[in-house]
């Protein structure tokens, strides 16, 4: 091997080491992102139980309304809670 070939081999090795480092950093970033997403999803699923309770309570309040004013108030609350629930579920879907 002549000197030029040796230098070229060293250059190629340097480039490959750089690519290896970039790949390792990308992998580490991916692992961190996966862990963060898994934690966010776990927290969201914990909050889902509370959202289900709120939705059930609003539905029950509407069912038990006895006059037009109670019905109107309960319907407004149900619409509000359903909107929050839908946004929440869309958020969970995006986390999955």
pLDDT in tens, 64-87: 999 999 999 999 999 999 999 999
pTM (predicted TM-score): 0.58
DSSP 11-52: HHHHHHHHHHHHHHHHHHHHHHHHHHHHHHHHHHHHHHHHHH
Summarised one tens digit per residue, pLDDT across range 24-72 is 999 999 999 999 988 988 888 888 999 999 999 999 999 999 999 999 9
Does position 95 have pLDDT exceeding 70, yes or no? Answer: no
pLDDT at position 94 over 80: no
CA distances from 68 to 58, 63, 75, 85 (A): 16, 12, 10, 25
Per-residue model confidence (pLDDT) at position 37? 86
Domains of the chain: 3-95 (1.20.120)
How many whole angstroms separate alpha carbon 96 and alpha carbon 93? 5
């Amino acid at each position: 091997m002549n000197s030029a070939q040796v230098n070229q081999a060293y250059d190629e090795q340097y480039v490959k080491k750089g690519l290896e480092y970039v790949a390792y950093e990308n992998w580490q970033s991916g692992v961190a992102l996966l862990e963060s997403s898994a934690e966010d999803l776990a927290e969201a699923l914990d909050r889902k139980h509370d959202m289900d309770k709120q939705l059930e309570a609003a539905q029950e309040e509407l069912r038990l309304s006895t006059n037009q004013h109670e019905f109107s108030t309960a319907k407004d609350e149900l619409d509000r809670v359903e909107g929050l629930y839908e946004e929440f579920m869309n958020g969970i879907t995006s986390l999955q």
